[in-house]
Structure 1
């Protein structure tokens, strides 16, 4: 899990204190505006890092962002219905992101239509690629976009508070 500690930055602490002290309607507007700006950026950055069609279907198409007064949470692979072939993004996100053991083979005995038994060996995780501890799409994309997300959040808070103090209305 990637986290940024607000205690390391005076600006982040100031934003959190400002969000806690402001009017609920203004805070709600900030959250909506921030989320609307972050989600397309998050999806495009994730798409740049996703190499395979499987990563696009499981991670990019399910990418989302949640904005609260205290945090911004980027997610992928935690929602959505199963794909046409039955693959559920919620359960497959981990192997798709980190790969799988390439030695994973499953051997079993089956029977042909004529009644003859024979052994079948299937390599069940080749399509997931080799293991990569640092991740393949989500974690590299998150590392790239987190500074931009924090800057966008800070800019949105400052701009909305400034507009509210000047008496302007955005929504």
Structure 2
């Protein structure tokens, strides 16, 4: 799915300081910080995603909920709808997650093409409503964006606390 939106470190002084401090830390400390962040942030993110998807249809939960995790690093990334394993019908969630998250403005749009006849010679025209299975347009998203808006303040504060605690322990030893 890639990145739907990001919190820029330039916008938050605390986050800028944490990024610089983490870059200056030794590799073992950075690895410990990343392990602790994954352990602390994954439950927060997954629970938020699960709560927002409670009222959505099964197909939406299947597509958007697959691959929900936190990619720890400098700085952490919240990931959802990122599974590359095809579903039973062939749909790959990370290719279609944006469409399922934001929907489409015209579910009745038709795609018309010609194809060869199966039994007799010649061709005929076929019309398909290719967007019919997508949800209606939601500019603020159905599940991932609202979950991220709810989770990001907690994620940033936990990230700051984790880095400060790890650096204090390193300097204390």
TM range (shorter): 0.7 to 0.9
| Deviation sequence 1:51-90 (CA, Å, 0-9, x none) | 2212211111221222222x22122222330012221112
Distance 1:49 1:145 in 2: 11
Distance 2:159 2:86 in 1: 32
1:106 CA displacement:
5.4
Task: Extract structure 1 runs of 4+ deviating beyond 6 A.
Answer: 107-111
1:27 CA displacement:
0.8
Q: TM-score of the superposition, structure 1-length normalised? A: 0.80
The alignment of Structure 1 onto Structure 2 pairs a total of residues equal to 162
Equivalent position SS for 2:78: strand
Q: Does 1:42 align with 2:45?
A: yes
Q: Which runs of 5+ in 2 are unaligned?
A: 118-124
Q: Does 1:3 align with 2:6?
A: yes
Distance 2:128 2:5 in 1: 36
Q: Which runs of 5+ in 1 are unaligned?
A: 112-118
1:125 CA displacement:
3.2
Q: TM-score of the superposition, structure 2-length normalised? A: 0.79
Give the equivalent residue in structure 1 for 2:17.
14
The CA RMSD over aligned residues, in Å, is 2.6
Distance 2:90 2:139 in 1: 26
Distance 1:120 1:9 in 2: 53
Between 158-167 and 143-152, the greater mean CA deviation after superposition: 158-167
| Deviation sequence 1:137-161 (CA, Å, 0-9, x none) | 1111111111111011011111212
